[in-house]
Amino acid sequence: MRKAKIYIPNKSPMQSGLGKSDKWILEYETNDPTRNPLMGWESSNDTLSELRLEFSSKELAVNYAKKMKIDFEIIEPKKRKTIKKSYADNFLN
């Protein structure tokens, strides 16, 4: 039985906003990765490890995994802590 993980990808470090961070990804886990002796890259004969499916909600991804009989693990996103500051706070200390 194949195993997959369902998660929201982290934003790129080159982004300052949260655009395109609302898609849920279903990604298969790689079975027995091997190192390519010539180049040193990690490779696998498993083509499903290259498959990455996008869903607009977590429920759609879970329903798809259940329908296709895929074992899955849901990785919940961490909540961002925002601290509201005033520009004047830089000069009051």
Report the predicted TM-score, pTM, of the whole model to 2 decimal places: 0.71
pLDDT digits (tens, 9 = 90+) for 37-78: 888 887 777 788 788 999 999 999 999 999 999 999 999 988
Cα–Cα–Cα angle for 12, 13, 16, rounded to 5 degrees = 90
**For position 17, what pLDDT does the model report?**
73
Distance between CA atoms of residues 29 and 50, nearest Å: 9
The CATH label, of 3.40.50, 3.30.70, 3.30.160, 3.10.590, for the domain at 3-9+22-92 is 3.30.160
Domains of the chain, by residue range, sit at: 3-9+22-92
